[in-house]
Chain A
Amino acid sequence: MKHIVKIMAILVAISAFWIGLLQAAVIPESYTWLLPLYFIVSLGCYGLLMVGVGLMQFPTCPQEAVLLQQDIREAKDFMKKNGVDIGPD
């Protein structure tokens, strides 16, 4: 099954549930009409929240850049010793 079909299936299931709510009238109809709006807004909030949290907790590794410089120096020395012409710098 293509992935888009799965997502469609979920959307259809949610719509069916919503129509069921409309017809059963267990909660006031005016609330039920607003539910899709709430759904979309909360989806958007979820996305923004996840991006925000991801940004705040973005893992950085400044020490790795320092270690890499050491490795580069080591490698350049080796190349010089073995006559590999990597050019100046």
Chain B
Amino acid sequence: MAEDKKGENKYSIIIPTYNERLNIALIIYLVFKHLKDFNFEVIVVDDGSPDGTQDIVKQLQQVYGEDHILLRPRAKKLGLGTAYVHGLKHASGNFVVIMDADLSHHPKYLPSFIKKQIETGASIVTGTRYVTGGGVHGWNLMRKLTSRGANVLAQTLLWPGVSDLTGSFRLYRKSALEDIISSVVSKGYVFQMEMIVRATRKGYHIEEVPITFVDRVYGSSKLGGSEIVEYLKGLLYLLVTT
């Protein structure tokens, strides 16, 4: 049977969405295209998007089957960190992938995450933009500068053990994700940084694979505000608590 060839691992791909009507259709198409040789499910955690993201997901369920696409919505916008926790509760795989819906995280890299995990037995495989084979497209000089500055500061002060702290395209052993996420309190993208730093401190085996990051084409960014201040606060918080 075809199922046997796919091995015993199952990958639950958690995609949080807020107003990603078009993107969610595109990314699910690409996930199915690139993961056809694996056991997987997609878990969409939509926070009551007013643009009808959930309607699209329901239509996609008709096309791809409800056992492959799980819609686990919440009533209102409650933030990213808790969206992952919510999705994780419904995950039936022994591995979990976390990725954004906005196509900045391209599903074509999923097989390389999985391959890396199988080769190394790692508990976490994290995508990095800052090694050969990786890269970013669509950032202006200011964005590059803050990104590099933030990275140098974090590498010098935190010794995080990974080259890309704020990236959020990652594969986790489910038990590892459950363990780490329960001790994380930060919000916004400090959340991603806290996840990986806590994982390093807990001694989890972490591996990296190169990914490219193309800035979002459709829809609008949900983060914002005083990002630099938030980042510095997060750094300080991690210094004294990890």
Contact = CB atoms under 8 A, between A and B. Distances in A.
Size category, A interface:
20 to 34
Contacts of B212: 61, 64
A39 B176 CA distance: 40
B214 A64 contact: yes
Given A78-B29, A79-B25, A68 B217 contact: yes
Given A64-B135, A87-B22, A47 B156 contact: yes
B158 A59 contact: no
B29 A79 contact: yes
A23 interface: no
Interface in A60-83: 60-62, 64-65, 68-69, 71-72, 74-76, 78-79, 82-83
A75 B30 contact: yes
Given A55-B148, A86-B56, A60 B136 contact: yes
Given A50-B148, A59-B136, A82-B63, 14 more contacts: A2-B240, A51-B145, A51-B149, A55-B145, A59-B134, A60-B135, A60-B136, A61-B136, A65-B138, A69-B217, A75-B25, A79-B25, A84-B56, A86-B22
Interface string A16-35: 00000000000000000000
A51 B148 contact: yes
A71 B25 CA distance: 12
B59 A85 contact: yes
B144 A55 contact: yes
Contacts, number: 97
Contact residues of A: prevailing secondary structure: helix
Interface in A3-56: 3-4, 7, 47, 50-51, 54-55
Nearest to B236: A4
Contact of B137 (A7, A60, A78, A83): A60
Size category, B interface:
35 or more
Contacts of A69: 217
A25 B145 CA distance: 43
14 contacts: A3-B238, A3-B240, A7-B157, A55-B148, A59-B136, A60-B137, A61-B137, A65-B214, A68-B214, A71-B26, A71-B106, A84-B60, A85-B59, A86-B56
A82 B106 CA distance: 22
Nearest to A56: B148
Interface in B148-195: 148-149, 151-153, 156-159
A47 B135 contact: no
B152 A54 contact: yes
A51 B240 contact: no
Contacts of B240: 2-4
Interface in B70-124: 103, 106, 108
A85 B134 CA distance: 34
Contact of B241 (A2, A50, A59, A72): A2
